[in-house]
A and B are shown apart, each in its own frame.
Chain A
Amino acid sequence: AIQMTQSPSSLSASVGDRVIITCRASQGIRNDLGWYQQKPGKAPKLLIYGASSLQSGVPSRFGGSGSGTDFTLTISGLQPEDFGTYYCLQDGAYPLTFGGGTKVEIK
């Protein structure tokens, strides 16, 4: 199975900060990667698919980039409602695999 290594595991940032979360795949997955946000007690929410395509309704401060093995989620201008845990998910090969998650806290 493809392993997804996500970093950092947690971070604390201020409103307005630029936040960067990375995911590295153990083998190339083209651009078959999505990013999901999960708030406590809630189902995950899709933010980015195909490594860089913004899901409808998601604010444009969320952006994704990368291809092959290295991917990045950028939040440009962190907002109070952006707290939660962020996961990457590779959908390039079965079984699909998630990164370990990044917990984002607002200072």
Chain B
Amino acid sequence: EVQLVESGGGLVQPGGSLRLSCAASGFTFSDHHMDWVRQAPGKGLEWVGRSKDKSRRYSTEYVASVKDRFFISRGDSDNSLYLQMNSLKTEDTAVYYCARVSSSSGSDRLDYWGQGALVTVSS
């Protein structure tokens, strides 16, 4: 059974840093792209970034609003995905989800999601 479990959320002051983790199980972690998606309170979904699969050397992509502040990495030995968030702003307050990406017939899809981790940026 595929499972994704986020951890590391909490309250942080503006300008601070936080690292989220996503523990993955039930599938071959290195074979899949992995995404982070966030949702501000009462708002819609926003794609944050991607760690591509091992064949693509775990290269990353980001939305412009977090580029050079957020960094996605992986720990293959422990099947974990990480989101290092630096220089946090109040507008980064959101529930952060990790999601597995599956690909077939040229189509990508976010087919499994974690339960989410709440990050609150406030003084």
The complex places the Cα of A100 from the Cα of B87 at a distance, in Å, of: 27
The complex places the Cα of A1 from the Cα of B64 at a distance, in Å, of: 9
Residues of B within 8 A of A49 (CB): 107-109, 111
Q: List the A residue with the shortest CB-CB distance to B113.
A: A43
Count of chain A to chain B residue pairs whose CB atoms are closer than 8 Å in the complex: 65
Interface size band for B:
20 to 34
Quick one: given A43-B97, A44-B113, A95-B61, are A31 and B47 in contact (CB under 8 Å)?
A: no
Q: What is the interface of chain A, defined by CB distance below 8 A to chain B?
A: 1, 31-32, 34, 36, 38, 43-46, 49-50, 53, 55, 85, 87, 89, 91, 94-101
Q: What is the interface of chain B, defined by CB distance below 8 A to chain A?
A: 35, 37, 44-47, 50, 61-64, 97, 105-111, 113-116
